[in-house]
A and B are shown apart, each in its own frame.
Chain A
């Protein structure tokens, strides 16, 4: 079976520094072996990388994303964050609080709260005062063009606006890795384009790696790498392996 990291060799410098996140021979099996969502996957994502996970429904893309952010655990294999195996739920929670942002297809916002409060939720546990949290959340919402709607309940926002709130929440902690699971899947074409543009702009403006799960080949083509998943396996990997400038610099020093 195809292993993504075997064919995407990086420079010597990149090999010396651990990837931002790596899956090593990871499998995820449900219902006592009846369903193999992910099978023996090896995958590496570097800092600043932009990766599209492409595949049909039920191919295992979302399961792979769930494993990449630790909201699900592998049945076998290891997930490494910057070279260190992550196994405990507390470690994963800390990573999601500080280094990993997630955007879901269904937005997953808290319906009773406003846009501002939903973004603020992601800033809990960072030792910030309420005022600082609110200020930071407001800045983020301004950045994605939702300053006029920040005090509205999210249930009153359009799909595109909700997804932008979800993006603001995901980037609230300036993550090193943003996982976007079908972020445009629930949106009309105009809003889908707006949200996609926003994600790529955020990626370009920061050193944040993006893993984008999508059915949309055009959207996938905008990513530096495209990884195709079928029946829980990586069957194809295309595009350029990314070597983050900081990693090159670190290796060269």
Chain B
């Protein structure tokens, strides 16, 4: 027998309490992981979505707080496209737009002549012809969520569009889009001759030196900011808020987990005061007695963390099948995040176990032995 064996026996002695405490830790770890993964996944999904379009740079309004927030005059697209080093550029109007039945769609409007239409990975149907209006191409996840198929109508911002194509993008964000001709989206959203961002490619595959030159040239046009997808999302205020909120909630969840451990161990050590007196009476050092209590906390923490990790993976498997979540974000706990959350939970649980351990060894053994 060793300290871990002793801790295991003690936990088995109070199975209900031990299970509830472990469940508390598991929920804390699971929810912390889920929250932080969701936050990261939203950002990663957006980044992958932009990358899937094959952009080297994205141009937004200078000082725009988020990707939905800025507007650029449509005529700027041509000025950007004519800059040295820019091989192609396409404007995009980007917004969440109300559809029928109170649902909303992630609507993207592209000019008729945009190269982006040519890159749409069609599963079925076609993309709009030049000058064609009142038509839409849906991402497959959006079509599935809305229950639409080729030839159906879809109502966006009160106007009806015929679905002429279903796209088969690979990233979650693009699988949920509804693509419209730019002029249609500008008209129904009352944003004539405006775009949210400009996608562009630069010569020589976007080498660092070339990118820098193009960025400088774009920013010299005034009121514009050119950045890679990563840079743009890192500056996005919405994502910063999302990160901060999920971090705060995760900290609260983990502290709650530690309080479960603390509560369980305080109760357990109070009940076992006499036993702690016995350990002292047979010569156990204070350090060893404290270690025996902390090991019990660690054991609960390890089981709780493993269970929490399993819960987060179950959530990762289940969430994509919930349309309200799966259509917008993919949920993937990363190894780095798992390690961070588990380390935080472990540290907090160990610290939580030290208090009852310290209380236990402060008592005189004779006094502890008198306790029932």
Contacts and interface: CB of A to CB of B under 8 A. Distances in A.
Interface of A: 66, 69, 71-73, 89-90, 93-98, 100, 102, 104, 108-110, 112-113, 117, 120-122, 124-125, 130, 134, 169-170, 173
Interface string B85-100: 0000000000000000
Find the residue from A100, A104, A112, A170 having the highest chain B CB count within 10 A.
A112
Interface stretch (B23-31, B187-195, B274-282, B335-343): B274-282
The size bracket of the interface on B is 20 to 34
B168 interface: no
B272 to A, nearest CB: 9
Interface string B314-339: 00000000000000000000000000
Find the residue from B275, B282, B284, B366 having the highest chain A CB count within 10 A.
B282
B311 interface: no
B99 to A, nearest CB: 63
A93 B283 contact: yes
Contacts of B238: none
B9 interface: yes
Contacts of B279: 121
B286 A104 contact: no
A169 B286 CA distance: 19
Contact of B278 (A97, A110, A173): A110
B118 interface: no
A122 B275 CA distance: 13
Nearest to A89: B286
Given A66-B366, A71-B369, A113-B1, A96 B282 contact: yes
A110 B285 contact: no
Contact of A110 (B275, B283, B367): B275
B123 interface: no
A97 B6 CA distance: 19
B109 interface: no
Main secondary structure of the interface of B (DSSP, over half): helix
Closest 10 CB pairs of A and B: A97-B283, A96-B283, A71-B365, A72-B366, A71-B366, A112-B9, A66-B366, A122-B282, A108-B278, A117-B1
Interface in B1-57: 1-2, 6, 9-10, 12-13
B1 A120 contact: yes
B364 interface: yes
A93 B280 contact: yes
B280 A113 contact: no
B288 interface: yes
Contact of B281 (A102, A117, A120, A130): A102
B286 A108 contact: no
Interface of B: 1-2, 6, 9-10, 12-13, 274-275, 277-286, 288, 364-367, 369
23 contacts: A69-B281, A71-B277, A71-B369, A72-B364, A72-B365, A90-B285, A90-B286, A93-B286, A96-B281, A97-B283, A97-B284, A104-B369, A108-B277, A109-B278, A110-B275, A113-B6, A117-B1, A120-B1, A121-B284, A124-B288, A125-B283, A130-B2, A169-B282
Contact of B283 (A66, A94, A108, A134): A94
A121 B286 contact: no
Contact of A108 (B1, B284, B369): B369
A112 B282 contact: no
Given A72-B364, A130-B1, A93 B285 contact: yes
Nearest to A99: B283
A170 B278 CA distance: 11
Nearest to B13: A112
B276 to A, nearest CB: 11
A98 B278 CA distance: 16
Contacts of B284: 93, 97, 121, 124-125
Contacts of A173: 283
Contacts of A69: 281
Contacts of A71: 277, 280-281, 364-366, 369
A143 B10 CA distance: 29
A3 B288 CA distance: 38
Nearest to B368: A71
A135 to B, nearest CB: 13
A100 B26 CA distance: 44
Contact of B10 (A112, A117, A124): A112
Contacts of A93: 280, 283-286
A80 to B, nearest CB: 19
Contacts of B278: 108-110
B269 to A, nearest CB: 14
Contact of A113 (B2, B9, B274, B366): B9
Contacts of A125: 283-285, 288
B364 to A, nearest CB: 6
A102 B364 CA distance: 16
A121 B282 CA distance: 8
A175 to B, nearest CB: 10
A45 to B, nearest CB: 18
Contacts of A89: 286
A90 to B, nearest CB: 7
Nearest to A102: B281
Nearest to B278: A108
A98 B283 CA distance: 8
Contacts of B285: 90, 93-94, 97, 125
Contacts of A72: 364-367
